[in-house]
Amino acid sequence: MCLYACCACCCAGGAGCFAYQCRGTAREMRRLQDGEARRLEFPPESFSAPPEPLLKDKDEQDYTQYENAVLVRESADSDALKIWYKTYCPASEGDITCIIVTFHPYRSNSEFLVKNHARCLRHFEKAAVIVFDQPGCGRSDGCWGYMPSWDDHVALCESFVKKVVVPLRDKVSKEQHRSVPIYGFGESVGANVLVSSALQSPDLYNGIILAGPLVRDGDAVKAGGFANFLAKCEGPIFPKYPGAPMKDGLDKCFVDKDFADFTRTENKLLWRLPLRMKTNKSIKAGQESIEKSAAQLKTPILILQASNDKISSPDGSKLLYDLCGSKDKCIEVYDDCAEAGLKYSHELLSAEPVEMAKLVYNDITTWISARKIRADIPASAAPAQPQETPQITSAPAAPSPRN
């Protein structure tokens, strides 16, 4: 329920309306507020991913995965946070062609659909794919769903990349006697975090891929002017209160509408309440910062956007493309999928009919393959080098919880 609705209830004598409707979920969120509690409640084996029809059993042979945690700091004098992450990679580091680090949507985590994304990218690109829970999300430290500052959040995520991803890149590059590139992949608010990181550290990524970046709110999550006004008034007073006016648009994320209910049930570390007031303000600050600074973005960029996206406004992605200062920029806008006879929605890679996801993955692998750095060319002087692009096919249909 949005904040203005809660205030209206108070005026009518219904001060407990919001708490009454959400008390069960709110109690759970409070109980699991810190990262240690979430790690104890939801060990890795408690999670499962939906079936991934793009992968056959043989596609995941000769691959490995491992999980770990690392302490990161925003700055030298700040408190350390434990960041939980997983790495999906070929069994031999000599087979790694690139490293991809993913930034999940803010309400979510590195499990569930993000796990499938990592498995697919690992197979299609022979990549080492690193997925991590952002601060305040999943099993990582930080108050659940609380982002006190956009800049601090980006700095913590970037610290993780520099502490985990960059050393792996350096190690593999040394073993292979060539420069192994790092690509960032982000979805929704995670894409915004990735853009801000690339703005702050232009040389950190060889390229960034943004799926439905939340540069501007779509119709399904956009709040009215009065609600935003109240949020500005109440936010500084109740920063952790989960009553931000940004609406819950989960039902509009997927082509398969039933999958939203399945996600609420099975994605155990999904933030289910409205955004906290300060979190909403921080995300808005990030959106404004990206628009103001987009011209300074020089990193190669691929933007993936559905024209029917109700969560991330297509106008926001087009604006980012127009303003972006990178000489190597590309935007793919998806309308209808002729094979499936359906329109694309916010979630482009998973929980869609396989024909739809296959096209998007092909665009990603084509873009990455054209930019991988060859072993005999220094990174600073390497032009885009076309490579053979794998043809993505689908596995036989597996039983799905959506059917």
Convert the pLDDT of each residue in 266-310 to its tens digit: 999 999 999 999 999 999 999 999 999 999 999 999 999 999 999
In a domain, 297, yes or no: yes
Domain annotation covers residue 400: no
Tell me how many degrees the CA angle 18-24-28 measures, rounded to the nearest 5: 115
Other CB atoms within a 10 A radius of the CB of residue 339 amount to 12
As a whole number of angstroms, the distance between CA 267 and CA 253 comes to 14
Cite the beta strand spans of 196-339 per DSSP E. 207-211, 301-306, 329-334, 336-337
Q: How far apart are CA 357 and CA 55, in angstroms?
A: 12
Residue 358 is part of a domain; what is its CATH number?
Answer: 3.40.50.1820
Residue 111 domain-assigned (yes or no) = yes
Rounded to 5°, angle at Cα 269 from 66 and 77:
70
* Domain assignment present for 95: yes
How many structural domains compose the chain?
Answer: 1
Residues 6+ apart with CB under 8 A from 23: none
pLDDT, tens digit (0-9, with 9 covering 90-100), for 100-136:
999 999 999 999 999 999 999 999 999 999 999 999 9
Any domain includes 209: yes
Mean pLDDT, the chain, as a whole number? Answer: 85
Q: What is the pLDDT of residue 228?
A: 61
DSSP SS3 for 88? strand
The whole-number average pLDDT for the span 325-338 is 95
Identify residue 339 by its one-letter amino acid code: E
What mean pLDDT is predicted for residues 330-347?
A: 93
Residues 6 or more apart whose Cβ sits within 8 Å of residue 398: 51, 53
Residue-by-residue DSSP string for 103-141: E--TTS-SSTHHHHHHHHHHHHHTEEEEEEPPTTSTTSS
Q: For residues 346 and 212, is the Cβ–Cβ distance under 8 A?
A: yes
25 is a domain residue: no
Residue 18 in tokens = 């919001």
- Assigned domain for 3 exists: no
- Quick check: 388 pLDDT over 60? no
Give the pLDDT confidence score for residue 75 in this predicted structure.
80
Domain assignment of residue 78, yes or no: yes
Percent of the chain with pLDDT over 90: 65
- Please give the pLDDT value at position 30: 84
Range of the domain at 95: 32-381
pTM: 0.86
Q: Under a CB-based contact definition with an 8 Å cutoff, are residues 210 and 186 in contact?
A: yes
CB 299 within 8 A of CB 329: no
